[in-house]
A = this chain, B = another copy of it.
């Protein structure tokens, strides 16, 4: 028992209980599964000389971030500044904010964090943002390490490769900014079913950014970091010599959406990482012939991505569907007996990131017994 990690004393009472005794709905992490995923990811990128900067937005849990650092991560990614604030306050370092920070107030908050941790990095994708960061950092006497965010096909954030050299020059001109490298995230390819197509798409997406990188370096601008990739391309982007680190996220837990993606050795399934996160739910109503109602709906299981995968201890064939904000419908084959009132059902969630963000705690188990409770201490930090 690690009492320091408990979300509260009230929750520590669960330590030692069987998983299926937990009040529901709740999220359960299989510790061996999680640690196996961390080890396998480190082991798969190390031979290629790449680093990992895992994305904390997936798990929102500083305990897991510490484990990722302990496993060898070179740093951590966050989507929003409020996540960076929380990690730095908890003593974690090497944080990269992977989205642009643009308003004066949030830039001020960024500078407060940068004042505590000079290793904090942020991406930029527009000259206006470069100028705003420069002005604010200069006024505080700070130098902010930045990555140039390059759009390699997702079109969500990032400058086009054609604009990279110009922007890199502009960043290099700023006295209060230090260009550390580029970020290139091919979010649009991560869930492509075929590993072969995904490989081709990812390598092709990276190429224009990599070509421009050489021009930037050729112009005498140091640009050592190339950060990108995700769980879907963890064994693909290692083949790109210029890539220095991978921003993998979902591999820690896996989810139904990623499990449906093909891998190098299996056309239908993602085999390299094991599902380590489940949602536990309880049957609360049994008045229908071919389904029962469970206590996990939209607010406990985010409705996005693939259908949740039902793990039923008794081997019944069950299908989950959402049934409003608070409930789910668990259908069974006509003629078979449904789960009984009060029975617990375990689900692999559809899309782990937004589902984890619905809860305050992770119940950590080994051999189906609760061994710890970890606060999801970055939950709700979306600013």
CB-contact partner of A341 in B21, B128, B303, under 8 A: B128
Q: Is the CB of A293 within 8 A of B157?
A: yes
A247 within 8 A of B: no
Q: How many residues of A are in contact with the other chain, CB < 8 A?
A: 64
A180 within 8 A of B: no
Closest to A23 in B: B383
User: Separation in Å of the A171 CB from the closest CB of chain B?
Assistant: 15
CB-contact partner of A282 in B21, B102, B286, under 8 A: B102
Complex interface: chain B residues within 8 A of A284 (CB): 99-102, 157
A237 within 8 A of B: no
Complex interface: chain B residues within 8 A of A354 (CB): 298-299, 325
Q: Is the CB of A285 within 8 A of B341?
A: no
A271 within 8 A of B: no
User: Separation in Å of the A243 CB from the closest CB of chain B?
Assistant: 21
**A282 CA / B285 CA spacing, docked (Å):** 43
Closest to A109 in B: B23
Closest to A357 in B: B299
Q: What sequence of 0s and 1s flags, for each residue 276-290 of chain A, a beta carbon within 8 Å of any chain B beta carbon?
A: 000000111111100
**A21 CA / B105 CA spacing, docked (Å):** 9
A42 within 8 A of B: no
A159 within 8 A of B: yes
User: Separation in Å of the A76 CB from the closest CB of chain B?
Assistant: 16
Closest to A132 in B: B342
A242 within 8 A of B: no
User: Separation in Å of the A187 CB from the closest CB of chain B?
Assistant: 7
CB-contact partner of A287 in B80, B158, B295, B325, under 8 A: B158
Q: Is the CB of A155 within 8 A of B326?
A: no
CB-contact partner of A382 in B286, B326, B357, B380, under 8 A: B326
**A269 CA / B300 CA spacing, docked (Å):** 30
A359 and B380 contact, Cβ closer than 8 Å, known pairs A284-B102, A293-B157, A324-B187: yes
CB-contact partner of A126 in B99, B282, B287, under 8 A: B287
Q: Is the CB of B125 within 8 A of A382?
A: no
A268 within 8 A of B: no
Q: Is the CB of A158 within 8 A of B285?
A: yes
Instruction: Name the interface residues of A228-286: CB closer than 8 Å to any CB of B.
Output: 282-286
A325 and B25 contact, Cβ closer than 8 Å, known pairs A125-B285, A285-B158: no
Q: What sequence of 0s and 1s flags, for each residue 295-306 of chain A, a beta carbon within 8 Å of any chain B beta carbon?
A: 110111011100
Q: Is the CB of B126 within 8 A of A285?
A: yes
User: Separation in Å of the A161 CB from the closest CB of chain B?
Assistant: 11
Q: Is the CB of A303 within 8 A of B304?
A: yes
**A320 CA / B57 CA spacing, docked (Å):** 22
A156 within 8 A of B: yes
A151 within 8 A of B: yes
Q: What sequence of 0s and 1s flags, for each residue 350-373 of chain A, a beta carbon within 8 Å of any chain B beta carbon?
A: 010110011110000000000000
Instruction: Name the interface residues of A306-358: CB closer than 8 Å to any CB of B.
Output: 323-327, 329, 341-342, 351, 353-354, 357-358
A26 within 8 A of B: yes
User: Separation in Å of the A23 CB from the closest CB of chain B?
Assistant: 5
Cβ contacts A to B, 14 pairs, < 8 Å: A23-B106, A24-B103, A26-B383, A79-B326, A99-B326, A126-B286, A156-B323, A156-B324, A156-B327, A296-B382, A300-B382, A302-B302, A303-B304, A379-B380
A binding-site residues for B, Cβ under 8 Å: 21, 23-26, 57, 79-80, 99-103, 105-106, 109, 125-126, 128-129, 151, 155-160, 163, 187, 282-288, 293, 295-296, 298-300, 302-304, 323-327, 329, 341-342, 351, 353-354, 357-360, 379-380, 382-383
